[in-house]
Amino acid sequence: MFKIFAGDKDQNQLEALFEVSKILAQNGIDMKQPAIAITYGQIAEKVGNTLAEYGLTADRLSDEDILSLVQKIKEYLGSEDILSWPQVVRDITENTQVVADLISVDDSQIGNDCPMDGDEGSALASAGFGTDEDYGGGGDSEF
């Protein structure tokens, strides 16, 4: 894939960073102002990267959700060891209810209609590997 910017960031990460930063700036938060010993810009980058890792864009969250998330991160960083702040930001972002709802998969929505046991409806048969009856042997195997 062609990357517009050189470096470690892909396009989704840059877009998410920009969107989170834009929302914070539009709400009067200076990106260079320290949130504690960490700037809001650094927090926005880590939140944006975390969202992008899950294929989410910042527009999936409301402005209020992002502001609430950043406030929660700021409060936590004020009360805990900030040496591990990137992990703290990532953990809080992933475990915020609105983000968790977007990245979680409900097992009841995933169909289990394709068994792996080699019958005609199995995933193996669907992939062209055939059914149990297509292969000889069976009970006489040493395994």
Q: What is the pLDDT, as a whole number, of residue 132?
A: 55
- For 52-79, write each residue's pLDDT tens digit: 998 888 888 899 999 999 999 888 877 7
**Mean per-residue pLDDT over the chain, rounded:** 76
The pTM score is: 0.44
Q: Are 81 and 87 in contact (CB under 8 A)?
A: no
3 state SS of 127: coil
**Residue 64, pLDDT score:** 94
CA nearest neighbour of 112 among 99, 103, 122, 101: 122
What are the tokens at 134?
Answer: 């297509």
Nearest to 74, CA basis, from 35, 105, 104: 35
Q: What's the token pair of residue 63? A: 């402005």
Model confidence at 1, pLDDT cuts 50, 70, 90, reads very low
Q: How many C-alpha atoms does 2 have within 13 Å on its Cβ side?
A: 1
Q: For residue 70, what pLDDT is reported?
A: 93
Identify which has the larger pLDDT, 33 or 34: 33
